[in-house]
Amino acid sequence: MLIRRPPDIAPSEITPPDLYRRRRAFLRSAGLIAAAVGTGVVLPASRVRAAAQKLPNTRSGTFSTTEDRTPYEDVTTYNNFYEFGTDKDEPAQNARSLKTRPWTVAIEGEVRKARTIGIEELLRLAPLEERVYRLRCVEGWSMVVPWVGYSLRELIRRVEPTGNAKYVEFVTVADRRQMPGLAYPVLEWPYAEGLRLDEAMHPLSLMCVGLYGEVLPNQNGAPVRVVIPWKYGFKSGKSIVKIRFTQTQPRTAWNRAQPREYGFYSNVNPEVDHPRWSQAKERRIGEFRKRPTLMFNGYAEQVASLYAGMDLKKNF
Q: Tell whether the torsion through CA atoms of 200, 201, 204 and 205 is positive or negative.
A: positive
Q: Hey, is 189 helix, strand or coil?
A: coil
pLDDT in the model for residue 154: 98
User: Which uninterrupted H or E stretch holds 195?
Assistant: strand 192-196
What b/e sequence results for 258-283 when a residue is b if at least 16 CB atoms lie within 10 Å of its CB, and e otherwise?
eeeebbbbbbbbbebebeeeebeebb
User: Which uninterrupted H or E stretch holds 27?
Assistant: helix 17-39
Cα separation, 95 vs 89, in Å, equals 11
pLDDT in the model for residue 62: 87
What's the burial of 45, exposed, middle or buried (CB within 10 Å: 0-12/13-18/19+)? exposed
DSSP string, 126-184: S--EEEEEEEE-TTSEEEEEEEEEEEHHHHHHHH-B-TT--EEEEEE---TTT-GGGGS
Strands 104-109 and 214-215: unpaired
Cα separation, 227 vs 234, in Å, equals 10
Contact (Cβ atoms closer than 8 angstroms) between residue 64 and residue 134: no
Low-confidence ranges of the chain (pLDDT < 70): 1-51
pLDDT in the model for residue 29: 39
pLDDT in the model for residue 51: 57
pLDDT in the model for residue 52: 74
Q: Which residues contact 218 (CB under 8 A, 6 or more apart)?
A: 91, 95, 96, 98, 100, 239
Phi, psi of 187 (to 5 degrees): -135, 170
Where in the chain are the domains?
1-48, 51-307
Fold of 51-307: Sulfite Oxidase; Chain A, domain 2 (3.90.420)
The percent of the chain in helix, strand and coil, each rounded to the nearest 5, is 30, 25, 50
Strands 141-151 and 206-211: antiparallel
Contact (Cβ atoms closer than 8 angstroms) between residue 224 and residue 173: no
Strands 129-136 and 59-60: parallel
Q: pLDDT digits over 218-262, tens only?
A: 999 999 999 999 999 999 999 999 999 999 999 999 999 999 999
Cα separation, 213 vs 221, in Å, equals 15
Q: pLDDT digits over 113-127, tens only?
A: 999 999 999 999 999
Average pLDDT across the chain, whole number: 88
Q: Tell whether the torsion through CA atoms of 62, 163, 190 and 193 is positive or negative.
A: positive
pLDDT in the model for residue 263: 97
What's the burial of 246, exposed, middle or buried (CB within 10 Å: 0-12/13-18/19+)? middle
pLDDT in the model for residue 43: 32
